[in-house]
Amino acid sequence: MSLNHSNHSANSSAENSQGSHHDSTALPAKTSITFKLNNRETTLEVAPWTTLLDALREQLNLTGTKKGCDHGQCGACTVIVDGVRINSCLTLAIMRDEAEITTIEGIEALSEGDGLHALQTAFIECDAFQCGYCTPGQICSAVGLMNEGRARTKDEIRELMSGNICRCGAYPNIVAAIEQAMNASGNNVNQSEGSDGR
Amino acid sequence: MNNFSYTRANDVGNAVAEIAADNHAKFIAGGTNIIDLMKENVERPTRLVDISRLPLNEITESDGGGLRLGALCTNADTAYHAQVEKRYPLLSSAILAGASPQLRNMATDGGNLLQRTRCYYFYDTATPCNKREPGTGCSAINGFNRIHAILGTSEACIATHPSDMCVALAALEAVVHVTGKNGERAIPFADFHRLPGDTPHLDNNLHADEIITALDLPAQGFAQNYTYLKLRDRASYAFALVSVAVALDMDGDTIKEARLALGGVAHKPWRDTEAEAMLSGKSATKENFQKAAEAIIRDAKGFGHNTFKIELAKRAVVRALKQAAEGTPQPTEIKKVL
């Protein structure tokens, strides 16, 4: 689908509804959007106010992505859109027409080999969770962190994972898991600690 | 979230025409603040105009030797841009002190200027708030006001501007470029945001039909002697109680020019040119830093829970001036104050 065609379709659906948008009983029409979701072309009808998180969970049954706070404060809804990690609760699905989206369900396919992604394996081996509710967001966020290539020390891993809250407090093992995956990928974590470990 | 219609703008002219034609319409770009406010029913637009695909996402050299940041550059792309890191490390440092990596990947530079206060009462539609509903009163003045302003407040509002990025932009004297129905204009950063006065519902001087297109950074980036020191309740991912952006032009041990801006203490990034002038031509000593710090908080007023911010701001200014003068800026990932 070309960008122009998409613009046209989004505009025309909004225009259809605009004529009656002061009439509180008439809701704006749903719009058809298409994105590449976990490597598969996906088309769905969304209302303008549907967040990407709700579209994934309620319409596409991809419930691995969690709704924690729904306000961008906990990171449980983290997904990867066009190569970068974002909070899916704070973006509208309609704005992500034509995007490339990876959720926890598609992380495995990002790895070169067969089976689990290196971060998934590392989370298991390092026991990087207790209840597991934040884990999909933690792993998607860590994939983003590794793509960004900015973390070189444990302090930097901690700072750059600060958008993901773990109420069980599994942070030390989460940092260890990310460190293990980074070392395995050849981006060795500098072992010298900063002046303050936290 | 209320129901609304959605339009995607094709160019800047189209975006301005859409917003000018409907006073219940709002722009959406990164969405990180407006979607949150819509979920809380603080913002209730009947229409969103999506500007996120407008071609305003480049960082280019500007006339006069500075850098021009397109309004739709993300905070992350800006903070990690090689030229910003090299020439304006104060800006990189301030951006990276705010929000989380996920939010910085979404939030835009223009949107950062337009984010609303995080005052609890502004967010709570069950309580009076002059910023949200003019004339209803301020719940914070006699309420829980630990996070609130100590400088430039009014009887109508003691909210703070929450941005870190804007504190650095104030110190760097950035210029905000906007386009509206009547064409383009450039707004010096100091004139962009407003003090609350008796119109706290107005955060800034942008007209209703205007869109921010770019931020210009002047050539002087203060890359040798700077710091962004942010003090907060939680070591990461929390708004500032007090933050300080310092940019110094040094000649040996002598300060030729000083820029000093505070965050978390006022309705806008707080600059005090009198306090800055007290430092020019002076040597970088603790005594001189303390005089400037006393000057910048001379009109500060506490409201009970936030009175501690006056002393905190004073000490933060002294520490930040020391960091900048010694060329040892506070690293974001190190939680001990240097």
Asked if B31 lies within 8 A of A71 by C-beta distance, the reply is no
pLDDT grade for A26, boundaries at 50, 70 and 90:
low
Residues of A in contact with B8 (CB under 8 A): 7, 10-11, 14
**Does any CB of chain A come closer than 8 Å to the CB of residue B5?**
yes
Residue range B125-142: mean pLDDT, rounded: 98
Q: Which residues contact A48 (CB under 8 A, 6 or more apart)?
A: A14, A28, A31, A92, A94, B3, B4, B5, B6, B48
Q: What is the DSSP track for chain A?
A: --HHHHHHHHHHHHHHHHTTTTSTTSPPPPEEEEEEETTEEEEEEE-TT-BHHHIIIIIS--TTS--SSSSSSS-TTEEEETTEEEEGGGSBGGGGTT-EEE-GGGSGGGSSSSSS-HHHHHHHHTT--SS-TTHHHHHHHHHHHHHHT---BHHHHHHHTTTS--TT--HHHHHHHHHHHHHHTT-PPB----SS--
pLDDT at A16 over 60: no
pLDDT grade for A14, boundaries at 50, 70 and 90:
very low
Instruction: Nearest by CB to B5, from A28, A72, A95: name it.
Output: A28
> How remote is the C-alpha of B321 from its chain's centroid?
20
pLDDT grade for A12, boundaries at 50, 70 and 90:
very low
Write down the pLDDT at residue A198. Answer: 40
Residue range B175-203: mean pLDDT, rounded: 98
From B200's Cα to the closest Cα of chain A, the distance in A is 25
pLDDT at B318 over 90: yes
pLDDT grade for A27, boundaries at 50, 70 and 90:
low
Instruction: Nearest by CB to B334, from A27, A90, A195: name it.
Output: A195
Closest-CA residue of A relative to B37 is A71
Write down the pLDDT at residue B304. Answer: 98
A82, A87, A97, A190, best to mutate vs chain B, most B CBs in 10 Å: A87
Closest-CA residue of A relative to B53 is A95
Closest-CA residue of B relative to A18 is B5
Residues of A in contact with B3 (CB under 8 A): 27-28, 47-49
Residue pair A13/A21 in contact (Cβ under 8 Å)? The answer is no
Q: What is the pTM of this model?
A: 0.94
Asked if A144 lies within 8 A of B32 by C-beta distance, the reply is no
Cα separation, B175 vs A104, in Å, equals 42
* Percent above pLDDT 70 for chain A: 82
**Does any CB of chain A come closer than 8 Å to the CB of residue B118?**
no
Write down the pLDDT at residue A111. Answer: 80
Write down the pLDDT at residue A38. Answer: 97
Residues of B in contact with A72 (CB under 8 A): 32, 36, 100, 102-103
Residues of B in contact with A159 (CB under 8 A): 236, 332-333
Asked if A92 lies within 8 A of B28 by C-beta distance, the reply is yes
From A153's Cα to the closest Cα of chain B, the distance in A is 9
Residues of A in contact with B7 (CB under 8 A): 10-11, 14-15, 18
Write down the pLDDT at residue A191. Answer: 78
Instruction: Nearest by CB to A144, from B8, B101, B236: name it.
Output: B101
Instruction: Nearest by CB to A155, from B5, B48, B333: name it.
Output: B333
pLDDT grade for A187, boundaries at 50, 70 and 90:
confident
Residues of A in contact with B53 (CB under 8 A): 3, 7
pLDDT grade for B283, boundaries at 50, 70 and 90:
very high
pLDDT at B48 over 60: yes
From B207's Cα to the closest Cα of chain A, the distance in A is 24
Residue range B173-177: mean pLDDT, rounded: 98
pLDDT at A194 over 90: no
Q: Which residues contact B99 (CB under 8 A, 6 or more apart)?
A: A163, B32, B75, B107, B237
Instruction: Nearest by CB to A72, from B6, B103, B235: name it.
Output: B103
pLDDT grade for A112, boundaries at 50, 70 and 90:
confident
Residues of B in contact with A178 (CB under 8 A): none
Please state, rounded to an integer, the average pLDDT across all residues of chain B.
Answer: 97
Pairing of strands B5-8, B47-50: parallel
Asked if B102 lies within 8 A of A144 by C-beta distance, the reply is yes
Asked if B5 lies within 8 A of A91 by C-beta distance, the reply is no
Asked if A72 lies within 8 A of B36 by C-beta distance, the reply is yes
> What tens digit of pLDDT does each residue of A149-177 get?
999 999 999 999 999 999 999 999 999 99
pLDDT at B155 over 50: yes
pLDDT grade for A193, boundaries at 50, 70 and 90:
low
pLDDT at A25 over 90: no
From A73's Cα to the closest Cα of chain B, the distance in A is 9
pLDDT grade for A113, boundaries at 50, 70 and 90:
confident
Asked if A194 lies within 8 A of B8 by C-beta distance, the reply is no
Assembly ipTM:
0.96
Write down the pLDDT at residue A29. Answer: 80
Residue range B50-79: mean pLDDT, rounded: 97
- Pick the range with the lowest mean pLDDT from A183-192, B110-119, B130-139, B217-226: A183-192
B8, B75, B80, B108, best to mutate vs chain A, most A CBs in 10 Å: B8
Residue pair A37/A43 in contact (Cβ under 8 Å)? The answer is no
Residue range B237-253: mean pLDDT, rounded: 97
pLDDT grade for A192, boundaries at 50, 70 and 90:
low
Cα separation, B200 vs B131, in Å, equals 5
Write down the pLDDT at residue B261. Answer: 98
Helices H / strands E in chain B, number of each: 12, 12
Instruction: Nearest by CB to A156, from B3, B32, B333: name it.
Output: B333
Write down the pLDDT at residue B57. Answer: 97
Q: Residues in chain B, how many? A: 338
Strand-pair partners of B27 = B49
Residues of B in contact with A156 (CB under 8 A): 333
Residues of A in contact with B102 (CB under 8 A): 72, 75, 78, 85-87, 141, 144, 163
Asked if B101 lies within 8 A of A85 by C-beta distance, the reply is yes
Cα separation, A65 vs A54, in Å, equals 10
Write down the pLDDT at residue A110. Answer: 86
**Chains A–B, number of C-beta pairs less than 8 Å apart:** 130
Query: Rg of chain B over CA atoms, in angstroms?
Result: 19
pLDDT at A22 over 60: no
pLDDT at A10 over 60: no
Report CA-CA distances (Å) from B337 to A24, B157, B226, B238, B315.
54, 31, 15, 16, 12
Backbone angles phi, psi at B256, to 5 degrees: -80, -45
